[in-house]
Amino acid sequence: MSRRFQHEEEVLAKAYDARLAKRLLGYLSPYRFVVAVSVILLLLVSVSELVGPYLVKVAVDQHISVGDASGLPFLAVLYILSLAAAFLLRYWQVYLMNRTGQQVMADLRQELFAHVQRLSVSFFDKNPVGRLLTRVTNDVEVLNELVTTGVVSIFGDLFTLVGISVVLVAMNARLALVIFLLIPFMFVAALLFRQKARVAYNMIRARIARLNAFMQETLSGVRIVQAFAREAKSMSKFERLNASHCEAYLKSIRYHAIFFPVMELIAATAVALIIWHGGVKTLEGTLTLGVLIAFLQYTRRFFGPISDLSEKYNSMQAAMASSERIFKLLDTVPEIQDSPSPVLLKDVRGDVEFDRVSFSYHEGEEVLRDVSFKVAAGETVAIVGATGAGKTTLMNLLSRFYEPQQGAVRIDGVDVRQVPQKDLRKHIAVVPQEVFLFSGTIEQNLRLGKVHLSQERIEEAARKVRADEFIRRLRRGYGEEVGERGTSLSAGQRQLLSFARALLHEPKILILDEATSSVDPETEHLIRDALRSLLVERTSIVIAHRLSTIRSANNIIVLHKGAVKEQGTHAELLRRGGIYARLSELQFEEQEALPPRQ
């Protein structure tokens, strides 16, 4: 995993950042009514919880101590009612806040997914999928905690604290002071815990991210892992990552295990002091027994919110860190932007022109150098060149997945940078080097969401590219599930589907990038025949290593280390005796050298 990744996961954010908080509140605003109701409910919960001990005081002082049993049943019922009310109110409050939390999470995930999907292809060169997944799942989940247990219940905790303080002071100010004296100790303990727990918490997050990333990578490459018998190596690496995650967790557990008993101890000290001091006062007759009992009960409730608050501080801090990362992703602007004064391509003819194009993926590493060529509408041009020469890159520029640093790519004389991306890509279909199928049926993969296509059209396209035969042999035909990335099909079968997909797109410009590299020579031959008629109406750019497939092209461009070295027809290039002639000779010899077929 890259250092940058780790760094990003380990970043320590502030617990409260006004800028982030404001933006987060924006997500709550559609639900502000529910949030307001929830706050009110919580205040009522606090009040109803305050009532209980007070009722006990009244029962002891005004009835039991004076030997008057008459009001006791009423007080007992009130006591039960106050607890029942607290229960119901809390139920509604928890339900409402959790519902809101889920809604906010769903909104945010939706926004993230929509946004990430629109980012330029170059963004995905730099950002591993694993990290993006973490944004959409883990980081969003952390924010949920902020909504459900954070924002609103902090109000509740503070209100309970103030409420109890007021009641205590009203009952007996001196005794209340005994409790208040212990607050600084609690704050010191909470402060220490917060610092330690925060570091441990961030460590946990960073390590779980590392664990996830490793697992994801290993499992998606499981074939290679097994083929090269790397299981043991992977296992031991996983073991190390797993252990380090466990260790971080144990650390945080240790802090929790110390912190909460310490808080208990302080609370117990408060109780002890009240029994001592209050007990003496009661015996002296300056304090009623009821007040003493009420004090003991309130003391327990008083310290709960304090330790809760310091826990919440941690989740606030985590939420800030997560939201920082989420917003950073949301604020990433797509590198490729539609022109503010767009030109729509109407009635595309399909002239393609590369005009002195230079391009590099990374500054200083030029991949294309001053490339110029033209393809007239309806013609077929072939691009040949060694591996890494820049053939696929050329096509990336034509589809405007990247933009050239110099020169221009034009369709019908219009710079592709002026055409809205959607409009541009409507006219171009690519049969890519690496076919990608989505999990789903064959039909869904051919249709790609175009609901208006009839079943006949789909089958017709499949027939034209000779995919129909193998599809019909499948148990469920067009309804066969292809598995994730189409793993249940052979590479050649996937290529045929990719062909049919491109045809259904009805492009004016068709790009075939090594489109027939995985099918057998016989199928390739059949496809070529079928395509011949299809290629007439459209501009086609064929990238091929097997020169036999491109002999009939109107023009052949030989790309060498990012520059056009030769161009012409097959016959012209052979006559020239350059790179193409040499390549052609090599392939011819190879075929000769192969043992005869049986």
Ligand X SMILES: Nc1ncnc2c1ncn2[C@@H]1O[C@H](COP(=O)(O)OP(=O)(O)OP(=O)(O)O)[C@@H](O)[C@H]1O
Q: Does 392 bind Mg ion (CB under 5 A)?
A: yes
**Contacted by 279, from ligand X, Mg ion, none: CB < 5 to 8 Å by type:** none
Give Cα separations from 287 to 170, 280, 293, 295, 361 (angstroms): 13, 9, 11, 11, 82
Span near ligand X by CB under 6 A; candidates 96-104, 270-278, 287-295, 389-397: 389-397
Does residue 405 contact residue 363 with C-beta atoms inside 8 Å? no
Query: 403-442: which residues touch Mg ion (CB under 5 A)?
Result: 433
Does residue 412 contact residue 452 with C-beta atoms inside 8 Å? no
In terms of Cβ atoms closer than 10 Å to its own Cβ (0-12, 13-18, 19+), residue 488 is middle
CA atoms within 13 A on the CB side of 3: 0
Classify residue 404 by its DSSP letter. -
Query: 112-171: which residues touch ligand X (CB under 6 A)?
Result: 125
Q: What is the identity of the amino acid at 338?
A: D
Work out which of 20, 55, 190, 389 binds ligand X, going by CB under 6 A. 389
Query: 327-366: which residues touch ligand X (CB under 6 A)?
Result: 361
Span near ligand X by CB under 6 A; candidates 18-26, 385-393, 445-453, 504-512: 385-393
Q: Does 404 bind ligand X (CB under 6 A)?
A: no
List the one residue out of 566, 158, 235, 202 whose CA is nearest residue 389. 566
Q: Parallel, antiparallel, or unpaired for β 555-560 and 380-385?
A: parallel
Question: What is the total count of residues that contact ligand X (CB under 6 A)?
Answer: 12
Token pair 């995919």 is found at 467
Give whichever of 388 and 479 is closer to ligand X, judged by the CB atom.
Answer: 388
Q: Which residues lie across from 408 on neighbouring strands?
A: 355
Neighbours of 397 (CB within 10 A): 22
H helices of 59-71, in order, are none
Work out which of 385, 404, 486, 507 binds ligand X, going by CB under 6 A. 385
Query: 427-446: which residues touch ligand X (CB under 6 A)?
Result: 433
**Contacted by 520, from ligand X, Mg ion, none: CB < 5 to 8 Å by type:** none
Give whichever of 468 and 514 is closer to ligand X, judged by the CB atom.
Answer: 514
Q: What burial letters (b/e) apply to 158-184, b meaning 16+ CB within 10 Å?
A: ebbbebbbebbeebbeebbebbeebbe
**Contacted by 335, from Mg ion, ligand X, none: CB < 5 to 8 Å by type:** none
Give whichever of 172 and 392 is closer to Mg ion, judged by the CB atom.
Answer: 392
Give whichever of 358 and 433 is closer to Mg ion, judged by the CB atom.
Answer: 433
Cα-to-chain-centroid distance, residue 589: 51
CB of 562 to ligand X, least distance (A): 7
> What whole-number distance in Å separates Cα of residue 488 and Cα of residue 494?
10
**Contacted by 46, from ligand X, Mg ion, none: CB < 5 to 8 Å by type:** none
Angle of helix 231-273 relative to helix 289-330, nearest 10 degrees? 150
Q: Does 307 bind Mg ion (CB under 5 A)?
A: no
Work out which of 164, 274, 293, 367 binds ligand X, going by CB under 6 A. 367
**Contacted by 385, from Mg ion, ligand X, none: CB < 5 to 8 Å by type:** ligand X
Token pair 């029994």 is found at 275
**Contacted by 389, from ligand X, Mg ion, none: CB < 5 to 8 Å by type:** ligand X
In terms of Cβ atoms closer than 10 Å to its own Cβ (0-12, 13-18, 19+), residue 236 is exposed
Query: 431-490: which residues touch Mg ion (CB under 5 A)?
Result: 433
Work out which of 150, 163, 290, 390 binds ligand X, going by CB under 6 A. 390
> What whole-number distance in Å separates Cα of residue 7 and Cα of residue 12?
10
Give whichever of 461 and 547 is closer to ligand X, judged by the CB atom.
Answer: 547
Quote the tokens at residue 484: 């994730």
Work out which of 131, 391, 447, 501 binds ligand X, going by CB under 6 A. 391
**Contacted by 598, from Mg ion, ligand X, none: CB < 5 to 8 Å by type:** none
Give whichever of 392 and 421 is closer to Mg ion, judged by the CB atom.
Answer: 392
List the one residue out of 450, 419, 433, 407 whose CA is nearest residue 564. 407
Work out which of 218, 310, 393, 445 binds ligand X, going by CB under 6 A. 393
Give Cα separations from 533 to 378, 380, 536, 542 (angstroms): 11, 12, 6, 15
User: Can you point out the beta strands (E) in 420-538?
Assistant: 428-431, 509-513
CB of 404 to Mg ion, least distance (A): 17
Give whichever of 396 and 555 is closer to ligand X, judged by the CB atom.
Answer: 396
CB of 317 to ligand X, least distance (A): 37
CB of 389 to Mg ion, least distance (A): 8
Give whichever of 46 and 392 is closer to ligand X, judged by the CB atom.
Answer: 392
In terms of Cβ atoms closer than 10 Å to its own Cβ (0-12, 13-18, 19+), residue 436 is exposed
Give whichever of 323 and 392 is closer to ligand X, judged by the CB atom.
Answer: 392
The binding track of 293-312 with respect to ligand X, each residue x by CB under 6 A or -, is --------------------
> What whole-number distance in Å separates Cα of residue 513 and Cα of residue 549?
12
**Contacted by 400, from ligand X, Mg ion, none: CB < 5 to 8 Å by type:** none
Radius of gyration of the chain (CA): 36
Please give the residue ranges that form the binding site for Mg ion (CB under 5 A): 392, 433
Which residues contribute to the site for ligand X (CB under 6 A)? 125, 361, 367, 385, 387-393, 433
